[in-house]
Amino acid sequence: MLSTEDIQAIWLTIKLASVVTLLLLIIGTPVAWWLARSRTWWKAPVAAVVALPLVLPPSVLGFYLLLAMGPQGPLGKLTQAAGLGSLPFTFWGLVLASVIYSLPFMVQPLLTAFESVGERPLEVAATLRASPLDTFFSVVLPMAWPGFLTAAMLTFAHTVGEFGVVLMIGGNVPGQTRVASVQIYDHVEALEYSEAHTLAAVMLLFSFVVLLALYVWRAQANRGHSHG
């Protein structure tokens, strides 16, 4: 059976993934929109930087984040000056790291969705004197929302499955940074295989149900879309 620590770890994981998904929707949308619409020469370098977390090994990324966020690091000095204290080994430190690490998982699907909207609807909206913001909310959003769903899903799933980065900057503090993936790892390391199996099974089942629900919902929405 699940111990109280396991339940605490699961709850923390869900909390972390939800906060990260929400933040990335806010951050990722303008980034993806800019990448889809902009014509400047430095669009390519920005796109490359956004995709970097895909290639960096998580433990490497985690180590440099630890250096940057530590009390002597540039980010750490900034957070301390702002009165936020030091970020490593705290929940918000994990949030910041996960936002960086999951950024491409939010931006890529949104970019694809925005690009598939195409020029024409935007031109039509413009001739009808819609402001850019109005265009975005009344034309782009209704057309691109399956992309938002995919992006949010991938981001959430990716954050739930995160391990290397968390291990590097989390410090395994119960209730703060001991997420389910780390808890499973601890069980395995301590040769507590039955506890590891139980927790892993719960995680698998939860992830499967969430993903299945979303895919079913998406499939139905797409069907409605093609009939409409």
Q: Give the residues lining the site for another protein (CB under 8 A).
A: 63, 66-67, 69-73, 86, 88-89, 167-169, 171-173, 185-186, 189-191
| Rounded CA separation 13/79 (Å) | 24
Between 36 and 167, CB nearer to another protein? 167
- How far, in Å, are 112, 127, 136, 164 from residue 29 at the CA level? 12, 24, 11, 26
Between 12 and 167, CB nearer to another protein? 167
Least Å distance, CB 179 to another protein, is 13
| Rounded CA separation 162/9 (Å) | 13
- 8 A C-beta contact, residue 189 and residue 195: no
Least Å distance, CB 189 to another protein, is 5
- 8 A C-beta contact, residue 110 and residue 147: yes
Between 73 and 109, CB nearer to another protein? 73
Least Å distance, CB 112 to another protein, is 20
Total residue count of the chain as it appears in this document? 228
Between 20 and 168, CB nearer to another protein? 168
Least Å distance, CB 176 to another protein, is 9
- 3-state class of 132 per DSSP? helix
